[in-house]
Amino acid sequence: MKRSVLAVTVAVGSLAASWLAAAPACAQYSDGGIKIGILTDMSGGYSDLAGKGSVTAAQLAIEDFGRPIGGRKVELIFADHQNKADIASTIARSWFDTEGVDAIFDINSSVAGLAVREVARAKGKIDINNGAGSTALTNAACSPTGAHWAWDTYALAAGTAAALSDDPQNTWFFITGRRAAKS
């Protein structure tokens, strides 16, 4: 929860700075306001890590900021991507095309994050992934309007291995198991 609050707070502040710096582009924003979408897993395997907690964190960050950004009211909407690329991209496309969403945050699974990244890139909109672990978000699917806020699978594995192997006195093992086949 703290990580989500921090991420959304920093992101809202970053968006505020970019919107204030880009005054001529302000006419592009919907209804004179700033509309943020939280696209997260509300019902599946990632819902305990993000879900309603991410939405609450974003609401608290907006309330904590406590004022319009550059005279523009900040509005928050949210939806469940159900960890499915087609649902995530459909929601993102609808939000950008008809709902007036300016930026999408959270997108806490790689399959949904990569799908939303492509929609956001095509439309020149902002997407910030906070929980998707795919290295593709910072490599092959890198976008000038996208950010991969947290860890990725390479950083997690390389950082852990480097920390464990720096000291020749360290001994470490991988312990794995195998489920018995059901009869």
Would residue 171 count as lying in a domain?
no
**Residue 79 belongs to domain spanning:** 2-156
Would residue 176 count as lying in a domain?
no
Would residue 29 count as lying in a domain?
yes
pLDDT confidence of residue 29: 52
Would residue 164 count as lying in a domain?
no
Query: What angle do the packed helices 110-123 and 85-94 form, to 10 degrees?
Result: 30
Alpha helices in the chain (DSSP H): 2-21, 51-65, 85-94, 110-123, 153-165
Order the strands of the 126-129 sheet from edge to edge: 74-80, 34-40, 103-106, 126-129, 146-148
Question: What integer is the mean pLDDT of 72-90?
Answer: 94
Would residue 182 count as lying in a domain?
no
- Is the C-alpha dihedral spanning 131, 133, 135, 140 positive or negative? negative
Q: pLDDT tens digit string along 120-173? A: 999 999 999 988 888 888 889 889 999 888 888 888 888 888 887 777 777 777
Q: Give which of 112, 124, 126, 146 is closest to 35, Cα–Cα.
A: 126
User: Residue 17 above 90 pLDDT?
Assistant: no
Would residue 63 count as lying in a domain?
yes
Residue at token pair 């929601």: 91
User: Residue 91 above 90 pLDDT?
Assistant: yes
CATH number at residue 70: 3.40.50.2300
Mean pLDDT of the chain: 81
Would residue 183 count as lying in a domain?
no
pLDDT confidence of residue 75: 93
Per the model's pLDDT, the better-predicted residue between 47 and 19 turns out to be 47
pTM (two decimals): 0.73
Total domains in the chain come to: 1
pLDDT confidence of residue 154: 87
pLDDT confidence of residue 18: 45
Would residue 180 count as lying in a domain?
no
pLDDT band at residue 183 using 50, 70 and 90 as cut-offs? low
pLDDT confidence of residue 77: 96
User: Residue 9 above 60 pLDDT?
Assistant: no
Rounded distance, CA 30 to CA 49, Å?
Answer: 30
